Amino acid sequence: MVRGPAGGVARAYGRGMARPPFPARSRPLPRTPFSPSFWRSPLRGSWLTSVLGFVLLGGITVLFLTGLLSYAAYNPGLSPVNDKTPDKGLLGFYLFSWPTDPHWLYRLTQGVHVTLGITLIPVLLAKLWSVVPKLFTLPPARSLAHALERVSLLLLVGGALFEFVTGVLNVQLDYVFPGSFYPLHFYGAWVFFGAFLAHAALKTPAAVRNVRQLRAEHDELISPNPARPTVSRRGALGLVGGGSLLLLATTAGQSFDGPLRGTALLAPHGGAEPGTGPGGFQINKTAAYAGVHAAETSEEAWRLVLAGRTGTVRLSRSDLLRLPLYSSSLPIACVEGWSTSDQEWRGVRLRDLAALVGYDDPPDVLVESLQRHGAFRRAALRANQVADPRSLLALYVNGADLTPDHGHPARVIVPAAPGVLNTKWVARMTFGEL
Ligand code: HEM
C-alpha cells in the first residue's frame, strides 16, 4: 500500500522516533552501498531488527537443540556404522543412548526441526535485510575488538545461510553436496551457533532497550536519506509473519495423516498421495531405487542370517512365521521431517532373535540390508532398542504382508528411532558389542 507523507509515514516510524526529512529532489543519490544514504528504506531501524532478533533467538535455539537430538538419535556412538561425522571429537560430548520412549519422540523432535527451520526463512531474510547497511560500514574495522566482531559476523551470516540452504536442499532431496550432508550440516551448525551465541550475548541488552524505548538519535540503521514508505512497519512485520505462516501451512502437514497431508505442498514426501491399502503410507526409498529384486526376496531365495555368541542361524520367512509373533503400533519418522501416524506392525521381537544366537540380555546389533544403492545399507541399534518388547523384525504391516517398497520380506521397526535405522529388506543381523 502506498501512503502519502501525511498518513502512513507516521506509522512507519515508531514511538519516540524522529522522522528524517525526505530528500530534496535535486539531492544526488549515492552510487555505492558503502554510503549510509544509499540505503533508503524508511522501515529500517533498531526496533524492527530487534523484534526479528528476538524471534530468531527463540527459534534458532530450538533448531540447534533439535538438530543435536537428531544426531544423537542416529546413535553415532555405534561407530563406524552409524557415525556420519567420524571426526566430531569433542563435539560429540553430549551423545547418549537414544531412548525408545515415548515412541513418537523422533517424530516430534525432527518434525519440529524441519518445520521450524522452513518457517523461520522469511524471518532470517528480513533480519538480514534490516541490517544490510551495517555489512557495508567503512572502515571495515575500527579496532581489534571491532575486527573480531566483524569476523564473527561473517561466521554468523555465512553460517546462517549455509545451514538454511543445506537443510532445505536436503529436505527437497536435492543431494548436491560434495560428500555427505551430515558432516556439512553438523559442523556448520556448531560454527553458526557459536557465532550466534556471541552475537546474541552482545546484542540482546541493546535489543531489549530498543524494543522498550526507541531512541532514534542513536539509531545508525535509520536511513539519513529515506524514500517515501510504501508500507507501514506493522505491515512489513505482517508480511514476514504471513510468509512464515504460509510456509508453515504448506509444510507442517507432512507430519500428519489424512487430509492434512495433502496441504504439505512444499514437502516431497508430504503432499504426494502415498497410495491406498495396508501399505499406503510414505516411503523414502523404493525397492527399485535400492536395487532390491523380487527374485532375491522370494520364499525360496531369501534367508535371514543371525550371527552371535553361539554361532550362525539361517531362517526362511516360513521359519520366522513359526516363532512367536507380536504386534506394535509405531510410526515411521524420517530425518527429512515427514512422518506417518502409528502403523500396525507384526513380526518377531528383536530380543527373541538375539536369544536364538545366545543372548538372554540383548546386546547391540548390526543390521545389513539387501539394498545395493543409496545410504544406510547397514545400520546398528543399541542394546536398549533391541531389548524393547515393541522392537520387531516386522513381516506384516496393517494386517498384510509387507509390500516390496516397505521392505518385504522383513524389516526392522523400533520405537522412536529415525526412519533410516529401521532397515528394510533385512538380510543379516550380527548381535554382540559393536
Ligand atoms: C540468524 C541469526 C542472526 C543473524 C544472521 C543476525 C545478523 C545481524 C547482523 C549482520 C547485524 C549487523 C551487525 C553490526 O555490524 O552491527 C545484526 C545486528 C543486530 N542484531 Fe542480529 N542477527 C541474528 C540474530 C540476532 C538475535 C538473536 C538478536 C537478539 C535478540 C539480534 C539482535 C541484533 C541487534 C540489536 C543488532 C543491532 C542493530 C543496531 O545496530 O541497532 N540478532 N544482526
| 3-class secondary structure, 74 | coil
Q: What is the mean pLDDT of each run of 10 residues along the chain (434 residues)?
A: 36 45 55 87 93 98 97 86 83 94 97 97 98 90 91 96 94 76 92 97 93 74 89 94 97 86 79 73 88 93 97 97 98 92 96 97 96 85 97 97 96 97 97 83
Element (H, E) at 315: strand 311-315
* Stated pTM of the model: 0.89
| Closest residue by CA, ligand 1 atom 38 | 46
Residues 419, 332: contact at Cβ < 8 Å?
A: yes
| Closest residue by CA, ligand 1 atom 25 | 53
Predicted local distance difference test score (pLDDT) of residue 320: 98
**Sign of torsion, CA 328 424 183 155?**
negative
Give residues (CB < 6 A) around ligand 1: 46, 49-50, 53-54, 56-57, 60, 124, 127-128, 131, 134-135, 153, 156-157, 160, 196, 199-200, 203-204, 206-207, 210, 220-221
Query: What is d(CA 48, CA 36) in angstroms, rounded to the nearest whole number?
Result: 18
Query: What is d(CA 144, CA 170) in angstroms, rounded to the nearest whole number?
Result: 38
The cell for 367 is 543390521
Alpha carbon dihedral 226, 230, 234, 235, in 10-degree steps, equals -150
Predicted local distance difference test score (pLDDT) of residue 26: 52
| Closest residue by CA, ligand 1 atom 16 | 134
Q: Which atom of ligand 1 is nearest to the CA of 56?
A: 27
Predicted local distance difference test score (pLDDT) of residue 17: 47
Q: Which atom of ligand 1 is nearest to the CA of 150?
A: 15
Predicted local distance difference test score (pLDDT) of residue 25: 52
The cell for 330 is 509405531
Query: What is d(CA 14, CA 22) in angstroms, rounded to the nearest whole number?
Result: 17
If you ran DSSP here, which 8-state letter would residue 419 be given? Answer: G
Predicted local distance difference test score (pLDDT) of residue 71: 94
If you ran DSSP here, which 8-state letter would residue 116 be given? Answer: H
CA 374 to chain centroid = 20
Element (H, E) at 186: helix 181-212
Residues 338, 269: contact at Cβ < 8 Å?
A: yes
Residues 11, 45: contact at Cβ < 8 Å?
A: no
Predicted local distance difference test score (pLDDT) of residue 27: 59
By the 10 Å C-beta count (0-12 exposed, 13-18 middle, 19+ buried), 115 is classed as buried
Predicted local distance difference test score (pLDDT) of residue 9: 39
Residues 176, 216: contact at Cβ < 8 Å?
A: no
Predicted local distance difference test score (pLDDT) of residue 265: 85
**Sign of torsion, CA 126 131 132 135?**
negative
Q: Which atom of ligand 1 is nearest to the CA of 135?
A: 15
